[in-house]
Amino acid sequence: MPDAWLPTPEDLDARGAAQAALHERARAVAHERLGSRVFVRAVVEVSNFCRENCHYCGMRRDNRSLERYRARHESLAELLLRHRPPSVTDVNIQSGEDPIAARELVLPLVRTLRRETSLGISVCLGTLDEGVVRELHEAGATTYIVKFEAAQAALYEQLQAPGTLPERLAFIRARAASGWHVTSGFIAGLPGQGVGSALENLRLAAALPLAGCSVSPFVPGEATPLAGCEAASLDLTLNCMAAMRLMRPDWVIPAVSALNLVGEGGGYERGLGAGARLVTINLTPDGFRDDYLLYRRDRLIMTEERILSALSTHGLEPSRQSLREHLDSLRAARV
């Protein structure tokens, strides 16, 4: 299937038999590229301090009710070195936009993991100083996750997302140009945004130098200006996932835990059925997890047991190859 393929409004609005056919095409493409393999990554959410004020995020700096934390290097290293689930081949280190945590916590943790494991290491830390980003790469992190959230500059500004949209896109392109594998993402179904906005998001994603992309359904977050708004359509989100697999067969496309917070249930399994091939086990320590408030406190935590159960629903299995090794091999094949 040519890379130039883009979905139509009818694809993103598909329901019933048309939706089933779209998702089947996406599953077939995923199977052609990856067989039954699914990459299993762990995430540790190391800090909920954030200097940004995004309207869709519960960790926004104006949320004074949130108990802020920064985890300790020693406890995270012990967790990831000694107690990670057997299926995990990669780890994602994630935080609010917290330059202190990036320098004093994430950088030492990356060095420890690279020295003592073969794990693939990704970071999701926001728009940081170029020097810190370079040090993280030199220390052994190879994938930078930085979402553009919305393709419309006016909406991006209205949501008080980080900086400006052109600045965010420049940061994405600079990371790719400096040797990182870059993955991005957007929010489907933001208030007042439907199929047309989703198409714009997909077109922008296709134009960026990405190794992968995610789509998360809008979930009205606690203590945010959008708390009273309606959640996104699960069907629109899933159709975007299927479209991404058809647009870019080699992309890393995750099933995000927020799929379980919208619709009638079973969203996560349906995401795997729409072409997703990356799953994430949450290893954030219990004492911090509730305060990592992306949406609301009653989020469903994806454990290894839940992940393996979801995979078995579709006859899938954890990949023995790490995501880092997979992305490195794709890059080498393009050279």
Query: Which domains are present in the chain?
Result: 9-334 (3.20.20.70)
Spatial neighbors of 315 by CB under 8 A, at least 6 apart, are 36
Confidence (pLDDT) at 2: 46
Contact (Cβ atoms closer than 8 angstroms) between residue 60 and residue 54 = yes
Hey, is 245 helix, strand or coil? helix
Which ranges of the chain would DSSP assign to H, the alpha helix?
A: 9-12, 16-34, 73-82, 99-101, 107-116, 130-139, 153-158, 165-177, 195-207, 234-247, 267-272, 286-289, 304-313, 323-334
Rounded CA-CA distance 110/73 in Å is 10
| Sign of the alpha-carbon torsion through 139, 143, 148, 149 | negative
Rounded CA-CA distance 69/286 in Å is 12
Confidence (pLDDT) at 3: 52
The string of DSSP codes covering 83-152 is: S--TT--EEEEEESS-HHHIIIIIHHHHHHHHHH---EEEEE--S--HHHHHHHHHHT--EEE---B-S-
Per-residue pLDDT of the chain (335 residues; tens, 9 = 90+): 445 789 999 999 999 999 999 999 999 999 999 999 999 999 999 999 999 999 999 999 999 999 999 999 999 999 999 999 999 999 999 999 999 999 999 999 999 999 999 999 999 999 999 999 999 999 999 999 999 999 999 999 999 999 999 999 999 999 999 999 999 999 999 999 999 999 999 999 999 999 999 999 999 988 899 999 999 999 999 999 999 999 999 999 999 999 999 977 789 999 999 999 999 999 999 889 889 988 877 777 889 999 999 999 999 999 999 999 999 999 999 87
Rounded CA-CA distance 284/225 in Å is 26
Distance of CA 326 to the CA centre of its chain: 17
Rounded CA-CA distance 166/302 in Å is 34
Distances (CA, A) of 6 to 19, 198, 204: 16, 12, 11
